Amino acid sequence: MSERERSGLRHTQIVTDSRRGEQPRPVSKSEYLKVKEAGDLVALPAALVGLVLHSGDWRWCQNECLELIEGETGLHRLASTCLGHLARLHQTLDLDVVVPVLRALRSAGVGEADDALDDIAMFIRG
């Protein structure tokens, strides 16, 4: 199984854990960057969720999500979900940047992008 396939399975595990009420542990920027720089696609999904749910720096988290969407990690679905989390938690995003990216993903059949767009419409008053 490739790293990309394992990262997809890890995303599924994170979603399953959250449905059971288990919250990802907080992850600092430096801890997230260590995982990212190591190229650990198995640990990166949990690190991203832990960062997004617990960081006060929405813009930095947003940019990390956008980078993952544009990259070749296979984490575009999780990164889309995390953009929705940021909208819910902070009631702000760089809409001129985020919305076109999510619309392009939605057009490509990424359902998580549609969910993130719904979160943006619900939680960000523009």
Give pLDDT tens digits for 48-91.
999 999 999 999 999 999 999 999 989 999 999 999 999 999 99
The pTM assigned to this predicted structure is 0.84
105 dihedral zone (left: phi>0; alpha: psi -120 to 50; beta): alpha
Give pLDDT tens digits for 21-33.
678 899 999 999 9
Over residues 105-115, mean pLDDT: 97
Give domain limits for the chain: 3-123
Over residues 94-118, mean pLDDT: 97
Q: Tell me how far apart the alpha carbons of residues 31 and 5 are, in angstroms, rounded to a whole number.
A: 23
Over residues 118-122, mean pLDDT: 97
pLDDT-derived band at 16, boundaries 50, 70, 90: very low
- Looking at every residue in the chain, the average pLDDT score rounds to 88
pLDDT-derived band at 126, boundaries 50, 70, 90: low
